[in-house]
Amino acid sequence: MTRSCLAVVLAAGDGTRMKSSKSKVLHPVGNLPMIAHVVGAAQAAAVDALAVVVGRDSDAVAEAANSAVPVSTHMQKERLGTAHAVLAARDDIAKGYDDLLVLFGDTPLVSPQTLKQARASLADGADVVVIGFRPDNPHGYGRLIEEHGELLAIREHRDASEEERKITFCNGGMMAVSGRLALELLDAVENDNAKGEYYLTDIVGIARSRGGRVIAIEASAEEVLGVDTRVGLARVEALWQAAKRHDLMTAGVSMTAPETVFLSHDTLIEADAMIEPNVVFGPGVTIASGAIIKSFSHLEGATVAKGCTVGPFARLRPGADLQDKAKVGNFCEVKNAVLGTGAKVNHLTYVGDADIGAGSNIGAGTVTCNYDGFNKHRTIIGEGAFIGSNSSLVAPVEIGSQAYVASGSVITGNVEGDSLAFGRAQQVNKQGLGRKLRERLQADKQRRQKDET
């Protein structure tokens, strides 16, 4: 029989050490709020429902915790300890789930595998499962005291004996609790301590005193790493990026300097794509096999098909759709535009709100003038068209297939297929006027210099 599971995510902390105008769980890792990473791990661990305990920025936190499984939010009006925070979700806990996971909204690196292992331990008969880890330096962490495979106690560093401080297995904070015992154990927690708070860790001793079985499982130190400061956020970001790069390269993606490539939570790159140094992927990017993303390019909300080349120094903005073997070169920007198969936008060009036909060539310095100050308009260019350098295409406008636009043109009307369009003033040469202009400008400069002295 499949076991049911509720995950309670604690996300009510003020996060004052972040020195931020928003809740710390809303700060992103891989361009996704930290709490969304935690929710995603819980969902991948097959939970049936999520209860998010909120405080500051409750509406924004609830929105960030959106999930494919039902999500409820519970306001924690007072901060009286972790057990008190969990009990804010009492109504959901009381529904009688088989398993209860207690997670933290500021630990974005927790893995579904660890949560699944915790649930499996409950299925094997444990009443409480504590998720522990082994830090490089255990100083300051609560130690997990074990004997014969069971967890006897969680001893805070300040209370531990010299012998206990030699233990390197430490409390990571997250737990799994038998659903049938959860409320009974939580309600038994008292606040007889210096801070007058209700500590979740006390349920270990309470469960054992009642004959329950308590065990600890081990997670990596990265998984339980919480974020309290901007420094901690940067550390977690670096760990997340390194893991994401590793996964992509293991799957067949080439990166010549992986430490300089920055990815998003939803970045999709197929095998045999090449990513050169100093590339940034914003949300919503898909790169197909055989594509090359050259150095110093920035992509967001873009689709790059097989065999395409992007960059160097290119920017693909949301809605950029490059079809097979299209090319976007150096210092080009593409936004909300489709580049057909083999189309080329090579140099110093802006293509926005446009459809570029297969095999077309867009010359250097071309601009699709898509905005009139109030509304956006579309430029449509047919297959095999050639747009000369330094052309301005004033949308809405259509350039037919195989048409030519002469360099330096300002095109305000449609151009039929196979036509040649000139949209520039006629050149006029005035013999000797250049010399007269130069003499006048030189005299003006000398006059100004004399007046300044």
User: Which residues contribute to the annotated binding site?
Assistant: 10-13, 24, 76, 81-82, 106, 142, 156, 171, 317, 335, 350, 361, 364, 370-371, 389, 407, 424
If one counts every other C-beta atom within 10 angstroms of the C-beta of residue 59, the result is 9
403 class by beta-carbon count within 10 Å (0-12 exposed, 13-18 middle, 19+ buried): buried
- Binding-site residues for UDP-N-acetyl-alpha-D-glucosamine sit at 10-13, 24, 76, 81-82, 142, 156, 171, 317, 335, 350, 361
Place of tokens 């012998």: 163
Element (H, E) at 442: helix 433-452
Structure tokens at 331: 């210092």
Say whether 287 sits in a helix, a strand or coil.
strand
Alpha carbon 104 to its chain centroid, in Å, reads: 19
Q: Answer yes or no: are the C-beta atoms of 367 and 349 closer than 8 Å.
A: yes
The active-site residue, picked from 27, 74, 139, 347, is: 347
Structure tokens at 7: 């995950």
DSSP 96-136: --SEEEEEETT-TT--HHHHHHHHHHHHTT-SEEEEEE--S
- Binding-site residues for Mg(2+) sit at 106
Residue 28 phi, psi (nearest 5): -85, 150
Place of tokens 């002469």: 406
Structure tokens at 259: 């430490």
What CA–CA distance (Å, rounded) separates 14 from 57?
9
What CA–CA distance (Å, rounded) separates 313 from 277?
11
Structure tokens at 451: 């007046």
Tally of CA atoms within 13 A in the half-sphere of 183 that contains its CB: 13
Please, what is the Cα angle at 114 between 108 and 116, to 5 degrees? 115
End-to-end CA distance of the chain: 96
Q: Is 265 considered catalytic here? A: no
- Binding-site residues for acetyl-CoA sit at 364, 370-371, 389, 407, 424
Residue 202 phi, psi (nearest 5): -65, -20
DSSP conformation class of 415:
B
Place of tokens 């459809």: 355
**Maximum alpha-carbon separation in the chain:** 106
* Catalytic site positions: 347
